[in-house]
Amino acid sequence: MRTDKENQVIEAAYGVFFRYGFARTTMGDLAKAAGMSRPALYLVYPGKLEVFQAVADWMSDNMLESFRTDLKADWPLERKLLHVLEVCIAKPFEEVKANPDAYDLVAMDGQMPELHRVYGKLQVYLSDLLEDAVKQSGLKTTACELARTLMSAMRGFKLAAKDGKDLRQLMALQLSLTMAALGQPV
């Protein structure tokens, strides 16, 4: 459980990182946004990397919680997957694209272990969604491997997409191909 001070820092830091990116953000920026001094911030988190990790964990926890409450049991699989990818890939991508200084959050994606944990949590969630469809499909793969393939594709699409519309087209095509492979209605 996070303390009130930790939550204060995390919520403020989210906006700072998505505006300036990781490289350009300083502890001074984070302290100012959180309404505290730098020494006070250092008492809460020892450095920028730890703040970023806390923000990444907070974001993934919020996303997973929203999936649990937003996804409807009667939705087709493709709609569920599209909703998850919209929330965890497309929306953050557009936030970064709106602030060019934050582009390092996309470009450094593969180099930031803090983001690997977030993608890992999302991959597990996708795997759970895909489990029954993969078993019924007869595909020679597991739900975990299919979820890994989807997450890898999404990470690559973020680097290739010109804008949010282009990203969503790439996501939709990948999901259509996945649904066809699973024998699911598109």
95 lies in a domain? Answer: yes
Q: Is residue 115 part of a domain?
A: yes
Alpha-carbon distance 163 to 157, whole Å? Answer: 10
Tell me if 11 is assigned to some domain.
Answer: no
CA 183 to chain centre: 27
pLDDT at 90: 95
Model pLDDT, residue 137? 96
In whole angstroms, what is the distance from residue 126 CA to residue 115 CA? 16
Phi, psi of 75 (to 5 degrees): -70, 145
**Total domain count, the chain:** 1
The mean pLDDT of the chain is 93
Predicted pLDDT of residue 113: 76
Is 162 part of a structural domain of the chain?
A: yes
pLDDT value, residue 75: 95
pTM of the model: 0.86
pLDDT tens track for 89-99: 999 899 888 98
Segments of the chain scoring below 70 in pLDDT = 110
Tell the residue number behind the tokens 């920028």, with chain if given: 48
Cα–Cα distance list, 139 to 10, 154, 179 (Å)? 42, 21, 12
Please give the pLDDT value at position 110: 66
Residues of the domain holding 120: 71-182
What is the token pair recorded at 1?
């459980």
Q: Which two tokens stand for residue 139?
A: 């595909």
Read off the pLDDT of residues 110-129 as tens digits, 9 standing for 90 and up: 677 777 888 899 999 999 99
**pLDDT recorded at residue 117:** 85
Answer yes or no: is 39 within a domain. Answer: no
Which secondary structure element, helix H or strand E, spans residue 53, and what is its range?
helix 48-70
